[in-house]
Amino acid sequence: MSGILEGKRILITGVLTESSIAFHTAKLAQEQGAEIILTAFPRPTLTERIAKKLPKPTKVIELDVTNDEHLGRLADIVGEELGGLDGVVHSIGFAPQDALGGNFLNTPFESVATAMHVSAYSLKSLTMACLPLMQNGGSVVGLTFDAQFAWPQYDWMGPAKAALEATSRYMARDLGKQNIRCNLVSAGPLGSMAAKSIPGFSELASVWDDRSPLEWDLKDPEPAGRGVVALLSDWFPKTTGEIIHVDGGLHAIGA
């Protein structure tokens, strides 16, 4: 029986560690029949080492999503490797340390601008860079952390994720005519490299111990990866502008 991504060509960003959602997305995508290509920044060699743990070999491209030169050459490089694309996974987020950890009211705009550029605007810039390769439509899937609420320690990454969520909706509006779907997976907290960069992350994560209807495992990124792979597949052919929660159900619980 063929997998749900059989014949699909997928570009995946953000594979930094084996514990990341992006890594498990890449692994599951290959297992489900996709050809994949990875992007990495600032250390492609790190991603190349992690990529060796995937079921099949895959090419790694250096890509800084804030660099117009990198974005401008992306379609040519990916086109030579895969011929085209059916899906793009945006697993990119960054905020300077002074934008996190309880410093919300004192964060300078320069740091806020960096967080917004890397974490939100890049969804649009990455997708537009890949657009020439998506002539037959496709699926763009990003990763968010529920921006309906103000979370402990998360500070300016919260507004950045809110901007990401709005960006995805506007992209869904404007790219639907090209049969390109744009959706997000809102995952619960995981002990990834991104999480470790947030001061006081354990305080944020502890919310899940008390309120999540389903038991939540900080060490298991596979459920979120499954959500991403499902949205990349043809099983959601008319779903766009959506946020799928893979968070143990916590988003539905008030207290």
CA distance 163 to 17: 26
Enumerate the known binding-site residues for substrate. 95
Peptide bond preceding 42 in cis form (omega within 30 of 0): yes
pLDDT at 216: 93
| pLDDT tens track for 120-133 | 999 999 999 999 99
The answer to whether residue 255 is domain-embedded is no
Q: What is the extent of the structural domain holding 158? A: 9-187+198-247
Instruction: Tell me the DSSP string of 121-157.
Output: IHHHHHHHHHGGG-TT-EEEEEEE--TTSPPTTTTTH
- Give pLDDT, residue 246: 98
**103 within some domain:** yes
The reply to whether 141 falls in a domain is yes
Q: Is residue 4 part of a domain?
A: no
Any domain includes 43: yes
Establish if 1 belongs to a structural domain.
Answer: no
Range in 88-102, 190-204, 241-255 with the lowest mean pLDDT: 190-204
Beginning with the edge strand found earlier in the chain, give each strand of the sheet holding 60-62 in spatial order: 60-62, 35-40, 9-12, 87-90, 138-144, 180-187, 243-246
Comparing CA positions, the residue from 163, 161, 150 lying closest to residue 102 is 150
Q: Which residues are known binding-site members? A: 14, 20-21, 64-65, 92, 95, 161
Contact between residue 146 and residue 188 where contact means Cβ atoms under 8 Å apart: no
| pLDDT tens digits for range 55-80 | 999 999 999 999 999 999 999 999 99
Q: What is the rounded CA–CA span in Å between residue 232 and residue 227? A: 9
Residues making up the annotated binding site for NAD(+) are 14, 20-21, 64-65, 92, 161
Average of per-residue pLDDT across 195-211: 76
CATH of residue 160: 3.40.50.720
Four-point Cα dihedral 67, 34, 25, 127, nearest 10:
30
- The answer to whether residue 207 sits within a structural domain is yes
Contact between 130 and 78 (Cβ < 8 Å) = yes
Task: Say if strands 60-62 and 138-144 run parallel, antiparallel, or are unpaired.
Answer: unpaired
**Within a domain: residue 121?**
yes
d(CA 137, CA 240): 12
What is the distance, to the nearest Å, from the Cα of residue 118 to the centroid of all Cα atoms in its chain? 12
Q: How large is the average pLDDT for residues 248-253? A: 95
pLDDT over 90, % of the chain: 87
Catalytic positions, written as ranges: 154, 161
Beta-carbon count within 10 A of 73 CB: 14
Strands (E), the chain: 9-12, 35-40, 60-62, 87-90, 138-144, 180-187, 243-246
How many domains, in total, are found in the chain?
1
